[in-house]
Amino acid sequence: MASITCRVQYLEDSDPFICTNFPEPRRPPTVNLEENLPLSEQIAGIHKLLEAPLKLEECTLQLSPSGNYLDLDSSLAEQRDELEIFYEDVAKGKKPILILRTQLSVRVHSILEKLYNSHGPELRRSLFSLKQLFQDDKDLVPEFVASEGLTCFIKVGAEADHNYQNYILRAVSQIMLFVDGMNGVINHSETVQWLYTLTGSLSRLVVKTALKLLIVFVEYSESNSPLLINAVNTVDGQR
């Protein structure tokens, strides 16, 4: 059975809000991965080698520096079509780097839990960090949207002051930069209604940001204009 030599590191990101983004150890050890064996049967060996402070059952593998996540249920050979650069590096005699880290779904659950259960300064810090979190890992966006993250924003934003609302709007603006994120907003009428509601805020900054996001939303696709009109009619009809 063919094996591929890779370098491995781990990223301590079990708490997304205090993740350093610096993989350890700085000098990654090597491991031989069986090309035709599912990665799920090999990840425990990587976890043990690295002595990673992560829960094994919550771990996944990510390619560095591309950021692509590997399918643990498949072997490397079965994912070859999606791993062109990986195999090109191997062919050049390089040893690709794999990062052991927490699964996206687990990290998103932690984010939502923190937003729902935090108050005061802790909630403020969490909301302030969201935009950077989405910037640092674009794969968080589709997972966050699919996990009712936009609903969380609305519920938290409804009870927050304008400073907190502005942090949420900054995060929404980052989400809307991605196709999956924009599609999430398009398919979540409550978000569009909430943005329109915020145009009546007493905070000039909140009004300005909400209007900006609505303009971006409408300009993204002609079919979004009727969605905004419906949102306006819904909100005004409830007043």
Distance, in Å, from the CA atom of 145 to the CA atom of 136, rounded to the nearest integer, reads 16
Q: How many CB atoms lie within 10 A of CB 68?
A: 15
Distance, in Å, from the CA atom of 130 to the CA atom of 110, rounded to the nearest integer, reads 12
Q: In what order do the strands lie in the sheet with 59-64?
A: 30-34, 3-10, 97-102, 59-64
Q: Hey, which CATH number is domain 105-237, 1.10.3470.10, 3.20.20.70, 1.25.10.10, 3.40.50.300?
A: 1.25.10.10
pLDDT tens, position by position, for the chain (239 residues)? 589 999 999 999 999 988 777 999 999 999 999 999 999 999 999 999 999 999 999 999 999 988 899 999 999 999 999 999 999 999 999 999 999 999 999 999 999 999 999 999 999 999 999 999 999 888 999 999 999 999 999 999 998 899 999 999 999 999 999 999 999 999 999 999 999 999 999 999 999 999 999 999 999 999 999 999 999 999 999 88
Structure tokens at 86: 């990986």
**CATH architecture for segment(s) 3-102:** Roll (3.10)
Residue range(s) of every CATH 3.10.20.90 domain in the chain: 3-102
Q: What radius of gyration, in Å, describes the C-alpha atoms of the chain?
A: 21
Residue range(s) of every CATH 1.25.10.10 domain in the chain: 105-237
Return all residues near 215 (Cβ < 8 A) that are at least 6 apart.
Answer: none
SS3 87: helix
HSE of 197 in the Cβ direction (CA atoms, 13 Å)? 17
Distance, in Å, from the CA atom of 171 to the CA atom of 217, rounded to the nearest integer, reads 15
**30-34 vs 59-64, strand pairing mode:** unpaired
